[in-house]
Amino acid sequence: MSKGVTGSFADGRRKLSMESYLGLFLFGLLNPVVRTMRGLCEASDLERMGRDVCERPVSLGSFSEAQAVVDPELLKAVFEDLASEVNAGKSQGHEGKFAQAMHWQIVDSTLWEVLPRMRWAFWRKQGPAQNAVRLHVGLHLLNDHPVTAEVTEGKVCERKAWRKKWEPGAGYIGDRYFGEDYKIFQELDDLGCSFVLRLRESASLEIEQELAITAADARAGVIRSAWAYLGCKKKYRSLRVRLVWVDTGKETLILVTNQDESQLGAELVAELYRRRWQVELFFRWIKCILGNRHWLAESQQGVSLQIYLALIGALLLQLHGNVRPSKRMMERLQLYLMGMATLEELSAGIEREMARIQKRAKTKKP
């Protein structure tokens, strides 16, 4: 053995391929038993693990070091390809008032608080410093799956991350934070983008023209609609926008759009914003049902790999099941991974749950 090379470096368990590393990582996200890096390495010497997940037993050092070698941008590209595939498979069958909304995305972000020693993820200082990882997502309005995603430190501005993802001709739905910068409205309009954003109650408004409210608008909770300019000073002044006031029963929302009445009625403006909650349900799903709450790696690259793998897993499950898996579906999948269910039983259980979901959806329709 040459000088400087120890026996541990010659150990076969250190020869970890990218497929084995990512396979173990994804297995750690989906199975209900093993939740730590050390546990995955201990389980890697099981016969079925070697056959279905990784090629050979993996050492703790190799698994830890691999996070610095695998580029998260590779997984990001895989995620984007899968998102396009899911979108293409669901592009048909949308009828009625949302048939024109195929390019609308709901934009938002969510935070995961992380350990104090993960200082690269600094978020804010309120008493003790708080660290967090932020996932920025663009969720397809109709198909209910993420089409864009970016993993950053917690302190990264949501609007800044959103700007990088703008696509000419797309439509965007966002909460009050996205509607705070009035200059964004002009930039989006110049790109041919549509938007429905919420304004803060304290927004400075200059009403130019009041608009009539139809019976359909009133049924949707719309109480007022008008063309207006925003901004108290000339340098902050927005382009001419349409405002829609919506009474939810608990509060009054002020929504802003650059679309006129013929393109997007006040009723649809209200309905589009109502659907913004889909992104909150997605964040809840990926954290609670998929169970992406324990970090298998602590570096920025390792955390990014884990989140992109979780997104890829979500898209694969949605691609093959045609719906985001429910808790019952995930339980059946985990039982299969534990060896308690056969592939046939897994398929049968998923089909039964799909039938239940479709039945519930039909009963909710008016």
Taking 50 as the threshold, does the pLDDT of residue 139 lie above it? Answer: yes
What is the SS3 assignment for 148?
Answer: strand
Structure tokens at 58: 């993996």
Q: What whole-number distance in Å separates Cα of residue 51 and Cα of residue 73? A: 27
Taking 80 as the threshold, does the pLDDT of residue 219 lie above it? Answer: yes
Is the pLDDT higher at 7 or at 328? 328
Is the pLDDT higher at 6 or at 180? 180
What percentage of the chain has pLDDT greater than the value 90? 39
Give the CA distances from residue 172 to residues 138, 167, 194, in Å, rounded to whole numbers and listed in that order: 9, 10, 6
Characterise 95 by phi-psi region: left (phi > 0), alpha (psi -120 to 50), beta (else): beta
Sequence spans of domains, the chain: 11-66, 72-167+280-325, 176-275, 326-366
One-character DSSP codes across 193-246: -EEEEEEPTT--EEEEEE----HHHHHTTEEEEEEEEE-SSGGGPPPPEEEEEE
Is the pLDDT higher at 89 or at 22? 22
Each residue's pLDDT tens digit, 165-206 = 999 999 999 999 999 989 899 999 999 999 999 999 988 898
